[in-house]
Amino acid sequence: MNGTITLTIIKPDAVENGNTGNIIAAIQAAGYSIKAMKMIHMNEREAGGFYDVHRERPFFNDLVSFMTSGPCVPMVLEKADGNAVASFRELIGATNPANAAEGTIRKRFAESIERNAVHGSDSDENALREASYFFSNLEMVG
Ligand code: ADP
Ligand code: MG
C-alpha cells in the first residue's frame, strides 16, 4: 500500500435504508480507494469484540444489539494523499448527526447518535487492528 488506511463499516441502519451504494459513491468521490469490502451479519460476540473498548459504556448493550440487527459492510479504505483516519472522520462528521456538519455522510444518512450510518477508525493503530479484525491479508488488495 502507498497511502494510509482506515476502516469503515456501513452500519445496519444504512444498509437497511438502501444507502449502501450512496455511501460508497460519497467515499469514492472523496478520493478513497477500496482495498477490501464484504457484507456480513455479525453475532453478539463479533460485534462486542469489535467495540471492546466501549464495553463499560452505558450504551454498549444497545450498540451491540444494533450492530447485530442486520447485515453491515466493513471496508478498508486507502487515501493516497494525507491521513486517511483524520480525513475520513471529517468526511463522516460528528458521532451525533445532530452535530454533524452539512454534507457529511452522517448528516446525510444517519438517523441518531446510535444509528449513525458509518464507523470510522480513530487512530492509525486502531485502523490496522480493525482492518485485521474483519479481513485476512488475502482479502486485502495491493
Ligand atoms: P464514533 O463512531 O464517532 O467514533 P464512539 O467511538 O464514541 O463514536 O462510539 C461508537 C459508536 O457507539 C457510535 O458510532 C454510535 O453508534 C454509538 N454511540 C456512541 N455514543 C452513544 C450514545 N451516547 N448513545 C448511543 N449510542 C452511542
Ligand atoms: Mg469510535
**46: which 3 cell numbers?**
463479533
Residues with catalytic roles: 119
Determine the Cα–Cα distance for residues 77 and 140; give it in Å rounded to an integer: 10
Q: What is the DSSP letter of 51?
A: T
Convert the pLDDT of each residue in 89-126 to its tens digit: 999 999 999 999 999 999 999 999 999 999 999 999 99
Q: Can you spell out the DSSP letters for 112-140?
A: SSSS-SEEE-SSHHHHHHHHHHH--GGGS
Quick one: pLDDT at residue 82? 82
Band (pLDDT 50/70/90 cuts) for residue 3 is: confident
Determine the Cα–Cα distance for residues 109 and 33; give it in Å rounded to an integer: 21
pLDDT at 1 > cutoff 80 = no
Mean pLDDT of all residues belonging to the chain: 97
Cα 15 to averaged position of ligand 1 atoms, centre (Å): 18
Substitution candidate for ligand 1 out of 59, 61, 112 with most atoms within 8 A of CB: 59
Convert the pLDDT of each residue in 43-77 to its tens digit: 999 999 999 999 999 999 999 999 999 999 999 99
Band (pLDDT 50/70/90 cuts) for residue 129 is: very high
pLDDT at 2 > cutoff 80 = no
